[in-house]
Structure 1
Amino acid sequence: MMREFEIERQFDIKIETLKANKGVYYLKTNKGEKCLKKINYGPQKLLFVYGAKEHLINNGFNAVDKYFLNIEGEPYALVNEDLYTLSEWIEGRECDFHNIDEVKIAARTLAMLHEASKGYDPPENSKLKSDLGRWTHLMSKRIKSFDKMRDMVRKRSNKNEFDLLYLKSMEFYKDIGRKALKTLESSEYIRLCDIAQNDKSFCHHDFTYHNIILDEENKCHVIDFDYCKREVRTFDISNFMIKVLKRVNWDINFANAIISSYNEVSPLLDIEYKVLYAYLQFPQRYWRLANRYYYNEVNWGQNTFGSKIESIINEQEDMLKFLEGFKNEYQVE
């Protein structure tokens, strides 16, 4: 149980209203509206995230959910060994990924965020989070895990709908995963990692509709930096693109709109398109869903898993058509 008086004492506020809201708490306090969130990682990682947001603000990108400090000058409250952060409550609506104009605003905002992230030196007592240089290894490991999960299914005497769909579709995704790895290995990925390392930039790593908040004037705010880390920016762009594309039947017009809007602020280098293509190719959503299912990572019901794998499989044709179109459009060799 969260002890409210400890939150009040440590952040020096008085709570007038407290409501649970999508995994966080909405607070009305004597110092305005705030967002209280329980953090499921340690203080060193949190200091990296806090430092990243402060760095963006200092570089002119202030459309973030800034953390408040406690009375000791730390960006968290410690209650019964649980960490809580207090940030500004950002009023607005979630970005509509079916609306191409809102998607363009989000793409320009992401480019501004990436530009403002440059030159970030994390606080010395923080834990550096980085995926630079890791993606060939990660892809290779995930491709192997497709076989491991298939073997798990084969050993089951009672196979359910998810198992049968997995067995039927797994080779297709393993094959496309191999192609993505080949694309990445033949790209300038390591050179781009070196550039990101030298730029000291970082990525949001979860740039999706519920973390992109638009106010009444269509100004875009970005929240929830829990997963931010050193990373090549094409990862963020591809992740954002896939989140949009799966909602619009892999319509290449949305991909083009994202790229041209991003380029208006921070033009991509020619060598970045191949790496972007490799990320778009890799069947990350399929792998993640199977991984969650076979390793019990989330407790969704059978029906949820079944309908999710089915909808991913149903996208195969649209996705392949999109990848072919993207490859031609951006001359990926």
Structure 2
Amino acid sequence: MEDKQKNESRTEMDGETDLSQGHLEKVLEHYPFTIQNIRLKSSRSGRTIWEVETDAGTKILKQAEMKPSRMLFIADSHLHLQQNGLPITTLHQTNSGGYCIGAGDYAYVLYDKVEGQEMIYYNVDQLRLALEFAAKFQQASKGFNAIEGGKPRGRLGKWHKLYRWKLQELEGNKQIAQSFPGDAFSVMFLAHVDNMLERGKQALIDLDKPFYTDWVKQVIDEKSFCQQDFTFARLVEFNSEAFMKELHSVTYDLPVRDIRIILNKVMKKMSVWDHDLVIHMLQSYDAINPLTEDNYRVLWTDVSFPHLFCSIAHKYYLGQKTSWSDEKYIWALQNIIAVEESKEEFMQNFSDIVSEIKKNSGGKKNG
């Protein structure tokens, strides 16, 4: 994209942020399409989606409750991935050459609707496609020069701070749990919290090793980014590959953040840390974007940190899930404990597992 186009005004509206037909038509006037029909698709978590029938096919209009500068950064990242060949929906320009529209504390983007097969976490072949996509995403993100005016997010070099915060909160939740001796969730939580704290503290110590700091420097030099939350909800299977139908968010961080998130999501659904399935998933990633042995040490560190255990305690003691019963909270905690405990053997066999990943992925052990 030419500099002239990149520097044109992206904040093209002021005032209205309602969901009326007239307001939507006013937004869509900024695009070079003839609008035939607008249909509300979903509205939740500060994001509203409409399907828009146009003379050039069906489009998706997304309204997000965020500052336009933040959406500009995401849209610019989307365009970078699109131009570098990632299987991702086409993002559309406005008549003046911009890629998002600002309206107060809201922002809009318009992109193609993508039809494809739903991807599910229990399908081994689709897990392979998803991890291959994650690897392609990382490769396509390299060389990103963010546009001026965009508001980025990043955690590069900030894992120490994140780990410390989570450990401090876990210590605080331990004290809260001790004040509720008759609470079933707290009793179960207290039976495992010390082990989780020990693992978390060891992971924090491991971050001081060169394999973490050196990789942070490398990723900064590469100018790459990852997703903020890698989920199947934004993917479909299309032409025998995973295809991204919406870029929700991005952040500057190590690529293993995406890998750790998807591993934890899948294993939580399985209610056990399935060693063979994890190896299958990592082989799929490594065949496209090989990681070094030191890179895998960073992944092992992040996987060993009790992110899931911290998360369920955070939700329970802050009462975030108002619709959840005590029984559902207890079931969720039991499930996470089962995953964390079955993970131990995997974590202790680093060299053998990395060798197995490399043997079947075709990658090189030392990068």
2:9: which partner in 1?
none
Contact 2:68–2:101 under 8 Å retained in 1: no
Question: Counterpart of 2:314 in structure 1: which amino acid?
Answer: N
Question: Counterpart of 2:293 in structure 1: which amino acid?
Answer: D
TM-score, normalised with respect to structure 1:
0.88
2:79: which partner in 1?
54
SS in 2 for 1:47: helix
Per the TM alignment, residue 98 of structure 1 is displaced from its structure 2 partner at its CA by: 2.0
Residues 78 and 124 (structure 1 numbering): CA distance in 2 closer, same or farther, change over 3 Å? closer
SS in 2 for 1:130: coil
Question: CA separation in 2, counterparts of 1:38 and 1:152?
Answer: 39
Per the TM alignment, residue 296 of structure 1 is displaced from its structure 2 partner at its CA by: 4.2
Contact 1:277–1:327 under 8 Å retained in 2: no
User: Where does 1:70-81 land on structure 2 (aligned, <5 Å)?
Assistant: 70-78=94-102, 81=105
Return the index of the structure with the highest Cα Rg.
2
Per the TM alignment, residue 105 of structure 1 is displaced from its structure 2 partner at its CA by: 1.5
SS in 1 for 2:154: coil
With 323-332 and 196-205 compared, the bigger mean Cα shift is at 323-332
1:240: which partner in 2?
262
Cα-Cα RMSD: 2.6
Pair 1:319-2:343 in alignment: yes
User: Where does 1:1-333 land on structure 2 (aligned, <5 Å)?
Assistant: 1-12=18-29, 14=35, 16-21=37-42, 23=44, 24-31=48-55, 32-61=57-86, 63-78=87-102, 81-155=105-179, 160-215=183-238, 217-248=239-270, 249-303=272-326, 304-326=328-350, 328-330=352-354
Q: Deviations over 1:22-44 (max 9, x none)?
A: 74434141242222333132111
Q: Percent identity?
A: 21
Contact 2:68–2:106 under 8 Å retained in 1: no
Q: Deviations over 1:253-301 (max 9, x none)?
A: 2222222222222211221010010111111112122223323444342
Question: CA separation in 1, counterparts of 2:69 and 2:190?
Answer: 41
Residues 305 and 224 (structure 1 numbering): CA distance in 2 closer, same or farther, change over 3 Å? farther
Per the TM alignment, residue 71 of structure 1 is displaced from its structure 2 partner at its CA by: 4.5
Number of residue pairs matched by the alignment: 329
Per the TM alignment, residue 126 of structure 1 is displaced from its structure 2 partner at its CA by: 0.8
SS in 1 for 2:115: coil
Per the TM alignment, residue 70 of structure 1 is displaced from its structure 2 partner at its CA by: 4.0
Structure 1: 5+ residue runs without aligned partners?
none
TM-score, normalised with respect to structure 2:
0.81
